[in-house]
Structure 1
Amino acid sequence: MNLSSLNFSLESASRAKLLSPRPAELITLPSYMDCHEHSYTQIVIGLKGLVEFEVSGVANVVGTGQGCVVTASTDHAFGSLAHQSDILVLNLPYPAEDDSLILQKINELSKMDIYFQLDSSIQKLIDMLVQEIRSSPNDLLLSRACSDTVLALLLHHISAFDVHRRESRFDLEVVDRYIEQHLSRRISIAQLAGSVYLGESQFHQLFKEQVGVTPHQYVLKKRVDLAKTLIEQGRFSLGQVAELTGFSNQSTFTHTFSRLQGVSPSQYRKRFYR
């Protein structure tokens, strides 16, 4: 290998290391349901509040001292049920040889019990570790030590708790309700999928089959329909209408409205106010 190739390899490795998730992370979850997957296994432990999780069709509420296993490439939806919900996330992206046995045992655990309950002694230890992470959030060595300690103890001191299987199905009423509540903001396909506990690709396919248009087209129509109502009421400027209906700017709003309605927003307004 020549010097330039070696430098490129080192730079690539450094970038990959920087992009890799930290071994242990403290995260505050949003109040809306989100949905995604990733190429590595995660252990999620509740610290504060209540979090609703759905992993592979199995749903449960995770509170303080409870948790779940999300294995690599598994669709999962999640969202806070409280004003603020904090979780500890242990990421197992690229196990070294000495980690492979732990990862194997964690994967085996998830096949039996996706959700688990910690005993009181482990909860106290985790509280202490979390305080250390909060005081030194950029200490990678501390993050790794926390992850290793908790993982080793989990294999001996957890127990399953009751879960219920949520039937993954397409429910347009739920999707509509989510859209109506968030229409003034950006709405991603992952968020819509999470609202009905479906993976993003499965949701997109079911939506197109049952509604006849893509989720993106459906949301755009909802935005324009609301814009028409606001224009007819005459209480807002066109710039305000664009903002209230979730368009990034007035130019995008005008272009989309004109394409779907055949007239511009200003022309549409002249039908009611001259």
Structure 2
Amino acid sequence: MTPASTAARAVEVLSGLRLAVLTGAGLSTDSGIPDYRGPDSPPRTPMTYQQFVADPAFRRHYWARNHVGWAHVHRTLPNAGHRALTALEARGVVVGVITQNVDLLHEEAGTRNVIDLHGRYDRVICLSCATVISRTELAGRLDALNPGFAESIGRVADIEIAPDADAVIETTAHFTVADCDRCGGLLKPEIVYFGESVPKERVARAFALVDSADALLVAGSSLTVMSGLRFVRHAAKTGQPVVIVNRGATRGDPFATLKLDAGTSETLTELAETLPPLP
């Protein structure tokens, strides 16, 4: 089946409806950011919030990996899937995007109404005083504390990059972590870790976005974790059509009106070219 004929099935379900969109890591793979749970993804064991907070060795390892991975994610660009959703928003079809990604590629593509459900990779927060600084500012501090670190482990292009701006590095014992320069507290990326809850206000805004739409479109998410699956279950419970576009099975398949085992870039591009604009 061709991408066009696959997307045509989604057009039949979604035509004339205003869409809330939920996106996951599979949407960003065509931008060069591997996902965690795609059919070809290697097994990974993400660091938990509890490990990060309680164990200095885990924290050092995380920041060493992140310091290299950050440089890669900082250079990635939106792909055709991101641009298609921006076009659909401009034409009144998409009312907003809830993304589980932290890469900010929706914003860079020009989508205006974006809820970054799991946070964003470009900010860092102090767990003691709640001071927020940019990841760029922290990168300068980490460079100063760890001169030559990146060179000591090889080029970024040779290192596996994960969706939360981590990179796989075997030796991190010589890396020095930066603490908050205001109070000396622990710095953490302003993203939601495994074992950590999404802020209630953010979840409420996401549910409100789903309720403001006529249908829910899921793009590039396996819906393995409840933080995304709950919106699919909610839409199905309230009678909204749910269309899922993802390579491989998802946890939300039983709730879907239509499931397409297809790539997001091709399918969303076809939707953007086919779905009629709405007033």
Both structures adopt the same fold (TM-score exceeding 0.5): no
Which of the pair is proportionally richer in strand? Answer: 1
Which of the pair is proportionally richer in helix? Answer: 1
**Higher RCO (C-alpha 8 Å, min separation 6):** 2
Q: State the TM-score, normalized to the length of structure 1.
A: 0.29
